[in-house]
Amino acid sequence: MRPDPRLTVSQWADQHRMLSSRASAEPGRYRTARTPYMRDIMDALSPTNPVQRVVFMKAAQVGATEAGCCFIGFVIHHAPGPMLCVQPTVEMAKRASRQRIDPLIEESPAIRDRVKPARSRDAGNTMLSKDFPGGTLVLTGANSAVGLRSMPARYLFLDEVDAYPASADEEGDPVGLAEARSLTFAHRRKVFLASTPTIRGMSRIEREYEASDQRRFFVPCPHCGSMQWLKFERLRWDKGRPETVRYHCESCDQEIAEHHKGAMLAAGVWRATATGTDPGTIGFHISALYSPPGWQSWRDIVRLWEAAQGNDDALRVFKNTVLGETWTESGEAPDWQRLYDRRETWSNGTVPAGGLFLTAGADVQKDRVEIDVWAWGRNLESWLIDHIVIDGGPEHAETWAALERVLGQTWTHASGAALKIARLAIDSGYESSAVYTWARRMGVGQVSPIKGVEGFNRSSPVSGPTLVDATEGGKKIRRGARLWTVAVSTFKTETYRFLRLERPTDEELAEGIRYPAGTVHLPSWADSEWCKQFVAEQLVTVKNRRGFTKLEWQKLRERNEALDCRVYARAAAWIVGADRWSEAKWRDLEKQVAMNDRLPASDPEAGQIRRTVRRPRRIIKFSGMH
């Protein structure tokens, strides 16, 4: 008859949670004292706390997911009710079930008997559903609208919300859909949102944190006792020697060695630094500088910082996963006049020595097709090789015949070899049926229809292919063409970043200093109109109808074909595998273009396409697709 003790989530975890070697680097009894900054976060999820929503913007590997598991175990044991755990995808939800939830249940005796053992004929314990007395735990993915509206939920654990898609099956924001499941529980609901942030203006967790009271974990200086929250800017070290790192107190400026961190964390307290817009929501932020002893050290952090210098992608990862802060995309359009003034001179239609293979981007317009041919070398260094305009709309057979002749054209390399287009990416946004039909006729090995989509996806900016219907000889062929999806914002941002790179001087080049990775070389024949089109857009922050901000590319001038063709050609380079090639592959391409033997190659037949006179050369067959 005795009631259960009134425990908070952290007290429950210390008494009942056991960590499995399958799910933790430190198996055994869970100790909140190991990560003292997690105590207040977990306790805010207890039913005795009046807070309804807990927002946690954090670095990677600071214990947030384990805190979420403690929240789940507490609900099963002490405060049963319907609970929804949302991962970015259904596949990740299945992985979390195997790697996190199952060990949580199996290794903690207090809840092991409350969840039925998994049996093939027992629907009470499946991979995505766990029944227990008084409630159920459902795991789903943010990409599944069905999973998000399948049940009312008193408790929500929304993990890695910045990795959620913009819309769940085109039914709306996954976070909004999930939180709608908890509204009927009014003040009794608990929502835990945790994530590593991504891009400023698009980050869900940053938006939620900035609307909260923005709590920071203040720790005392071991010398003067001044309370402060740790900032990366206060780290000092000798360049190239991460082992010399020390933290400088912002009050007394004395050096704080890392061995003090354990005592500092134990004496730390959370303090609000702003006034939240919703009294029922509190927010926490922490960086990897707070990682407990034995985890990520200050020396490791400094080493990562030094390794990331000069690489925007690595700096973005550092800021997101180590500092727990958003990355600001720089979408400011470079001045077209500056691009025009630093054009370089090489023969029209000739590929400079650094270019090792060619791709092309084709933009289909109502009355013409514009094509830009780009050469690519190591580290994504690129050269504009040719600009071709085919007069005539996509309804004319002559237009497609001329485009086919472009595929057969060759360009002379500085070594004398002849290069053909390895891959042509063609936009399918206008007259998609005609594009699919032509691409099917040309074959999947050299032509890729693409469709641009909004948003940033650095890990995989090109996805696919998906099969779409095509027409051949007047007959519809189901799933007859392959369509690739391109996150155009990613490649536009990358292009603008490359255009802003500082270049070595003539003296430095003479001394053997190379161009930075990603340098874009423009030829002297690129006129002012082309340069203006190349920087015709700018990245801006806009608000939608619901008041949420997002990053969006907007035109500064009407014509932007040069930028679009560059994005398509860059997508073609991704499709052939240039971002993933091994050193051996690059050496093989260099060997091919450096060989001295020549074979004569006849010029393509004349037509509607601009040509240049070329000497005999060897034709290289490109085999980069994988």
Which residues on adjacent β-strands are paired with residue 383? 375, 521
Once rounded to an integer, what is the mean pLDDT over residues 117-123? 58
Once rounded to an integer, what is the mean pLDDT over residues 443-452? 86
371 pLDDT band, cuts 50/70/90, is: very high
Q: Which of 334-343, 421-430, 602-611 has the lowest mean pLDDT?
A: 602-611
The reported pLDDT for the residue numbered 619 is 37
Are residues 352 and 431 located together in one domain of the fold? Answer: yes
DSSP state of 98: I
Are residues 229 and 359 located together in one domain of the fold? Answer: no
- Is residue 447 in a domain? yes
Q: Is the pLDDT of residue 606 over 60?
A: no
Which residues on adjacent β-strands are paired with residue 412? 350, 418
- Is residue 511 in a domain? yes
- Is residue 592 in a domain? no
- What count of residues does the chain have? 626
Q: Which of 294-298, 486-490, 496-500, 555-559 has the lowest mean pLDDT?
A: 555-559
Once rounded to an integer, what is the mean pLDDT over residues 479-500? 86
Position with higher pLDDT, 536 vs 456:
536
**Interval 610-625: pLDDT, tens:** 333 333 333 333 344 3
The reported pLDDT for the residue numbered 612 is 32
The reported pLDDT for the residue numbered 383 is 94
For residues 366 and 536, give the distance between their C-alpha atoms in angstroms, rounded to a whole number: 20
Position with higher pLDDT, 488 vs 557:
488
Residue 156, H or E segment:
strand 155-159
Q: Is the pLDDT of residue 254 over 90?
A: yes
What is the greatest pairwise CA distance in the chain? 97
Are residues 77 and 35 located together in one domain of the fold? Answer: yes
Q: Average per-residue pLDDT in the chain?
A: 85
Q: Is the pLDDT of residue 347 over 80?
A: no
- Helix (H), strand (E) counts: the chain: 20, 30
Are residues 279 and 257 located together in one domain of the fold? Answer: no
**Interval 274-297: pLDDT, tens:** 998 889 999 999 999 999 988 999
Q: Is the pLDDT of residue 131 over 80?
A: yes
Are residues 198 and 345 located together in one domain of the fold? Answer: no
The reported pLDDT for the residue numbered 596 is 38
* Number of domains forming the structure of the chain: 3
The reported pLDDT for the residue numbered 543 is 65
Are residues 251 and 282 located together in one domain of the fold? Answer: no
Which residues on adjacent β-strands are paired with residue 188? none
- 188 φ, ψ to 5°? -85, -5
The reported pLDDT for the residue numbered 517 is 87
For residues 375 and 352, give the distance between their C-alpha atoms in angstroms, rounded to a whole number: 8
Pure H helices in 38-166: 38-43, 64-77, 90-96, 102-107, 109-112, 145-148
22 pLDDT band, cuts 50/70/90, is: confident
- Contact (CB, 8 A) for 395 and 431: yes
Are residues 197 and 344 located together in one domain of the fold? Answer: no
The reported pLDDT for the residue numbered 572 is 93
CATH of the domain at 517: 3.30.420
The reported pLDDT for the residue numbered 544 is 62
For residues 490 and 462, give the distance between their C-alpha atoms in angstroms, rounded to a whole number: 10
604 pLDDT band, cuts 50/70/90, is: very low
- Contact (CB, 8 A) for 530 and 562: yes
SS3 of residue 397 by DSSP = helix
pTM of the prediction?
A: 0.65
DSSP collapsed to 3 states, 460-487: CCEEEEEEEEEEECCEEEEEEEEEEEEE
The reported pLDDT for the residue numbered 226 is 94
The reported pLDDT for the residue numbered 259 is 92
Q: Could you tell me the CA-to-CA distances from 459 to 87, 264, 463, 551 in Å, in that order?
A: 18, 37, 10, 18
Q: Is the pLDDT of residue 393 over 80?
A: yes
The reported pLDDT for the residue numbered 476 is 73
The reported pLDDT for the residue numbered 222 is 94
The reported pLDDT for the residue numbered 602 is 30
Are residues 300 and 356 located together in one domain of the fold? Answer: no
- Is residue 606 in a domain? no
CATH of the domain at 196: 3.40.50.300
- Is residue 599 in a domain? no
- Is residue 533 in a domain? no
Q: Is the pLDDT of residue 535 over 70?
A: yes
548 pLDDT band, cuts 50/70/90, is: low
Q: Is the pLDDT of residue 358 over 90?
A: yes
DSSP collapsed to 3 states, 202-236: CCHHHHHHHCCCCEEEEEECCCCCCEECCCHHHEE
For residues 117 and 124, give the distance between their C-alpha atoms in angstroms, rounded to a whole number: 8
Q: Is the pLDDT of residue 228 over 80?
A: yes
Most confident of 82-86, 99-103, 453-457, 527-531: 82-86
Q: Which two tokens stand for residue 348?
A: 């029209």
Q: Is the pLDDT of residue 599 over 70?
A: no
The reported pLDDT for the residue numbered 625 is 39
- Contact (CB, 8 A) for 441 and 457: no
Once rounded to an integer, what is the mean pLDDT over residues 302-326? 89
Are residues 187 and 252 located together in one domain of the fold? Answer: no
Q: Is the pLDDT of residue 595 over 70?
A: no
Are residues 187 and 142 located together in one domain of the fold? Answer: yes
- Is residue 75 in a domain? yes
Are residues 345 and 436 located together in one domain of the fold? Answer: yes
- Is residue 181 in a domain? yes
The reported pLDDT for the residue numbered 189 is 93
The reported pLDDT for the residue numbered 569 is 94
Are residues 48 and 145 located together in one domain of the fold? Answer: yes
What is the DSSP pairing of strand 53-58 with strand 83-87?
unpaired
Domain that holds residue 316: 223-267+294-328
By CB atoms closer than 10 A (0-12, 13-18, 19+), residue 621 is exposed
